[in-house]
């Protein structure tokens, strides 16, 4: 009895076969019978290990080893270099990618660790699915291997992690072993530091899981333990990485603001076929409940928040990359549901295929749509990894050097900057990597991600503190599809100088022109900051779609502080799907009309109006503005604009000094003396 109790407490016995070494039943009655059971269990364990090894070998991913320029490509350098240099430099960073984001795109220095963790997650699929199938015959083994292989072949790292957590929660429902729950919590804490998307979706699994057992068991002592265990593990992860609790609450608060602000700031608005999406949504969220079984109801409750969060994330951005990730998660979830539910397998399979077909058909409307082929057999990737690691690394170094060649600064500028601290603006950090500069990151490391005033305030505070870098290198060249003639165009048809109104004011006050060429604008920190004097000119109540005259100013910066309210229907749509798109049209003195997307939350801190910077040394004069919104039926048409003027004490300081009055310092550069203004 003592031995049997020991094995049970260790989680090594039960009706299901997920605990592979469960062999206590019958122990002591017949040594021959016990030996037979042990051999049977060991035989099954060997089969599972062999299946996992075959799956890892056959679905080995193809990694891109090199780094490059651009918004996303330079992030690869950012998070790999932060990890390889000890993580401490990035302790204060709040961004949709977390400190462990290198797991999503490793380089040679982190590749081995990423491969090991990815392989363990794929092995976890085999063992997790085995707990659901039971492997009572050849049919169950075939289902196990097919499902595990399918998920491994289509899933990226994020969805592999989510699949493992979902399987652990399903196995816990069948056999309540503490180690299953603990492992799920540990993976949740791990995902919390990889990407905000994983933080939200994994917590969205944890919340209904905990709620289910709170209401079912009413064991509040045990429930309180679970509710404290996960936050404890998340905090432990922070402490292991940084050795201090400082910064943890700020990181968590930042994730909240990133999640809340994403729908309005990062949304794209392609056309959708709601005759397809409506039945898709009904079928997706109702399918687990149709059988009215305990398993089905549990699975439906467990996944409803995660699928809703994934729907919001994928369909808010709605480019093919986010939509494809959403489809992957749906496919994985439905496959796991079919094997978890112990009845109506064929009906569930047909309905699941219908759900996947509907969302796949609608995905053709996604921005940047193109078919994404899936390579099911990738053993050559592993062969190349094992036999040619050094060659792949050398090739990546050469390719990276070629990719970064366009980001190399003139030698005189590099020498003059030396070891001084530097930051890159607005988002491309390849200039830091290409020139070996001493990087000092701000809080939100790419301007477009300052979705809310709170995040913007964090960056503004950074540039107003003793942590501010000595130099800011401003990349003037954007990717090919983005208004090549406008150096200050941002992503998603936003105006770059509107992304961070508070931060932009700090840059105007605390930095001065240092150097400019066709590629870069270099700013240098002032010894004494300028004092910005803000005065309110007038307040205007307006209705969307109508032109508003712009106040005239003789100097300084004119901004429009825009605010609007949301009605019930707009708030409901924003919660269930995504918010409406607000835009501003600017009519210049020459009759040109420019149109940009605005983020209402940040627009309340001020939209840049005059002088309107088109490119370095060129500004337009805005005479009228018009605000409009995409939701003509549900959006409240009225808004308020507060016109404010910001003076910097001298007509030549502030905006003119940074963007308009500097000279192209070709001659001075040859002499090794970068240009500076007085």
Q: When comparing pLDDT for 27 and 329, which is higher?
A: 329
pLDDT band at residue 6 under the 50/70/90 scheme: very low
Nearest to 450 by CA among 467, 428, 426: 426
pLDDT at 40: 63
CB under 8 Å to 248, separation ≥6 — which residues? 235, 238
Q: Residue 166 pairs with which residues in a beta bridge?
A: none
In this prediction, residues 32-50 reach a mean pLDDT of: 75
What is the predicted pLDDT for the residue at 532? Answer: 93
**Looking at the domain that runs over 533-650, which CATH code has it been given?**
2.60.120
> What single DSSP character describes residue 367?
B
The arithmetic mean of pLDDT across residues 488-513, rounded, is 94
Write the pLDDT tens digit of every residue in 459-494.
Answer: 999 999 999 999 999 999 865 444 445 789 888 899
Task: Report, in angstroms and rounded to the nearest whole number, the Rg of the chain calculated over CA atoms.
Answer: 28
* String of DSSP letters for 224-267: HHHHHHHHHHHHHHHHHHHSSSTTHHHHHHHHHHHHHHHHHHS-
Q: Is pLDDT above 70 for 18?
A: no
In this prediction, residue 33 carries a pLDDT of: 58
What is the mean predicted confidence (pLDDT) over 240-250?
95
Of the chain, the percentage scoring pLDDT greater than 70 comes to: 90
Residue-wise pLDDT tens digits, 153-176: 999 999 999 999 999 999 999 999
Note the pLDDT of residue 483.
Answer: 44
Confidence of residue 505 (pLDDT cuts 50, 70, 90): very high
Nearest to 70 by CA among 434, 450, 479, 490: 479
Residue 677 has pLDDT above 50, yes or no: no
Residue 223 confidence (pLDDT): 85
Query: HEC states along 419-451?
Result: CCEEEEECCCCHHHHHHCCEECCCCCCCHHHCC
> Are residues 170 and 336 in contact, defined by beta-carbon separation less than 8 angstroms?
yes
Q: Which residue has the higher pLDDT, 7 or 565?
A: 565
pLDDT of residue 98: 96
For the ranges 75-89, 212-226, 592-606, the lowest mean pLDDT is seen at 212-226
Query: Treating both helix axes as pointing N-terminal to C-terminal, what angle do 248-265 and 196-217 enclose, rounded to 10 degrees?
Result: 100
- More reliable by pLDDT, 445 or 29: 445
Environment class of 582 (CB within 10 Å of its CB; exposed 0-12, middle 13-18, buried 19+): buried
Four-point Cα dihedral 368, 353, 337, 166, nearest 10: -10
Cα dihedral sign, 26-28-33-38: positive
Q: Binning pLDDT at 50, 70 and 90, where does residue 232 land?
A: very high
Residue 243: band (very low, low, confident or very high) from pLDDT cuts 50, 70, 90: very high
How many Cβ atoms are within 10 Å of 439's Cβ, its own excluded?
A: 21
pLDDT of residue 562: 96
pLDDT at 258 over 90: yes
Report pLDDT for 17.
39
Which of these ranges, 50-64, 368-382, 512-526, 606-620, has the smallest mean pLDDT? 368-382
Q: Convert the pLDDT of each residue in 612-657 to its tens digit.
A: 999 888 999 999 999 999 876 788 889 999 999 999 988 888 899 8
Q: Is 423 a residue whose pLDDT tops 60?
A: yes
pLDDT at 25 over 90: no
Using CA atoms, how far residue 614 sits from 27, 108, 476, 617, in Å, is: 81, 41, 11, 8
pLDDT, residue 192, reads: 97
**How far apart (Å, rounded) are the C-alpha atoms in residues 91 and 102?**
15
- Least confident segment among 132-141, 587-596, 631-640: 132-141
pLDDT of residue 504: 97
Cα–Cα distance, 145 to 201 (Å, whole number): 26
Report the greatest alpha carbon distance in the chain: 99
pLDDT category of residue 134 using cuts at 50, 70 and 90? confident
What's the whole-number mean pLDDT along residues 70-94?
Answer: 93
What is the band of 94 on the pLDDT scale with cuts at 50, 70, 90?
Answer: very high
Q: How far, in Å, CA of 596 to CA of 259, rounded?
A: 23
Query: Tens digit of pLDDT for each residue in 167-205?
Result: 999 999 999 999 999 999 999 999 999 999 999 999 999
pLDDT at 41: 77
Distances (CA, A) of 464 to 90, 223, 427, 438, 504: 19, 45, 20, 19, 11
Q: What is the mean pLDDT of the chain?
A: 88
Confidence check: pLDDT of 9 > 60: no
**Exposed/middle/buried for 62, CB within 10 Å: 0-12, 13-18, 19+?**
exposed
Q: What 3-state DSSP class applies to 75?
A: helix
Cβ–Cβ < 8 Å for 431, 438: no
135 pLDDT more than 70: no
- The answer to whether residue 39 scores a pLDDT higher than 80 is no
CA atoms 599, 603, 609, 611: torsion sign = negative
At residue 20, does pLDDT exceed 80?
no
Q: Of 103, 167, 155, 153, which Cα lies nearest the Cα of 325?
A: 155
CB atoms within 10 A of CB 591: 7
Residue spans per domain, the chain: 405-530, 533-650
């Amino acid at each position: 009895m003592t031995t049997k109790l020991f094995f049970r407490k260790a989680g090594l016995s039960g009706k299901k076969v997920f605990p592979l070494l469960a062999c206590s039943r019958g122990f002591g009655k017949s040594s021959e019978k016990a030996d037979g059971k042990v051999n049977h269990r060991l035989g099954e364990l060997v089969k599972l290990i062999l299946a996992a090894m075959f799956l890892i070998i056959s679905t080995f991913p193809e990694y891109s080893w090199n780094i490059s320029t651009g918004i996303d490509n330079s992030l690869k350098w950012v998070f790999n270099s932060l990890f390889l240099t000890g993580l401490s430099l990035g302790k204060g960073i709040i961004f949709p990618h977390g400190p462990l984001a290198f797991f999503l795109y490793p380089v040679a220095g982190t590749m081995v660790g990423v491969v090991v963790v990815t392989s363990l997650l794929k092995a976890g699929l085999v063992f997790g699915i085995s707990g659901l199938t039971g492997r009572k015959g050849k049919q169950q083994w075939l289902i196990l291997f097919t499902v595990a292989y399918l998920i491994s072949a289509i899933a990226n790292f994020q969805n592999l992690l989510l699949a493992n957590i979902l399987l652990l929660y399903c196995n816990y429902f069948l056999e309540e072993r503490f180690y299953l729950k603990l492992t799920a919590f540990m993976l949740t804490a791990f995902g919390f530091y990889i990407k905000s998307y994983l933080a939200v979706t994994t917590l969205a699994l944890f919340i209904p899981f905990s709620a289910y057992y709170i209401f079912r068991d009413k064991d509040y002592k045990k429930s309180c333990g679970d509710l404290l265990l996960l936050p404890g593990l998340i905090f432990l992860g922070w402490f292991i990485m940084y050795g201090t609790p400082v910064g943890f609450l700020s990181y968590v608060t930042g994730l909240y603001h990133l999640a809340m602000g994403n729908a309005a700031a990062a949304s794209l608005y392609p056309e959708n076929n709601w005759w397809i999406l409506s039945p898709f949504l009904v079928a997706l969220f109702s399918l687990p409940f149709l059988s009215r079984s305990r398993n089905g109801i549990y699975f439906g409750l467990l996944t409803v928040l995660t699928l809703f969060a994934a729907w919001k994330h994928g369909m808010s951005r709605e480019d093919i990359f986010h939509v494809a990730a959403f489809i992957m998660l749906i496919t994985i979830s439905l496959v796991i549901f079919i094997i978890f539910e112990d009845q109506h397998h064929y009906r569930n399979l047909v309905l699941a295929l219908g759900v996947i077909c509907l969302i796949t058909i609608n995905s053709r409307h996604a921005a940047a749509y193109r078919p994404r082929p899936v390579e099911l057999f990738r053993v050559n990737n592993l062969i190349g990894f094992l036999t040619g690691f050094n060659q792949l690394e050398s090739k990546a170094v050469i390719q990276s050097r070629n990719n970064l060649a366009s980001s190399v600064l003139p030698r005189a500028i590099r020498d003059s900057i030396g070891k001084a601290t530097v930051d890159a603006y607005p988002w491309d950090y390849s200039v830091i990597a290409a020139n070996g500069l001493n990087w000092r990151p701000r809080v939100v490391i790419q301007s477009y991600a300052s979705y809310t005033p709170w995040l913007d305030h964090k960056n503004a505070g950074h540039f107003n503190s003793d942590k501010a870098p000595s130099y800011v290198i401003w990349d003037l060249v954007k990717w090919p599809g983005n208004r090549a003639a406008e150096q200050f165009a941002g992503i998603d048809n936003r105006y770059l100088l509107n992304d961070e109104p508070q931060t932009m004011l700090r840059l105007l006050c605390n930095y001065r022109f240092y150097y400019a060429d066709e590629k870069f604008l270099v700013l240098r920190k002032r010894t004494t900051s300028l004092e910005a004097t803000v005065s309110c000119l007038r307040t205007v109540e307006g209705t969307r779609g109508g032109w508003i005259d712009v106040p005239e100013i003789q100097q300084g910066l004119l901004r429009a502080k825009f605010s609007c309210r949301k009605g019930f229907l707009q708030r409901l749509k924003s919660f269930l799907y995504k918010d409406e798109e607000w835009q501003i049209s600017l009519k210049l003195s020459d009759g040109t009309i420019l149109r940009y997307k605005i983020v209402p939350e940040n627009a309340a801190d001020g939209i840049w109006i005059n002088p309107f910077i088109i490119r370095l040394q060129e500004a337009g004069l805005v005479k009228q503005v018009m605000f409009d919104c995409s939701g003509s039926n549900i959006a409240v048409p009225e808004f308020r604009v507060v016109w404010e003027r910001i003076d910097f004490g001298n007509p030549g300081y502030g905006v003119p000094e940074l963007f308009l009055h500097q000279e192209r310092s070709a001659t001075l550069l040859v002499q090794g003396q970068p240009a500076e203004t007085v």
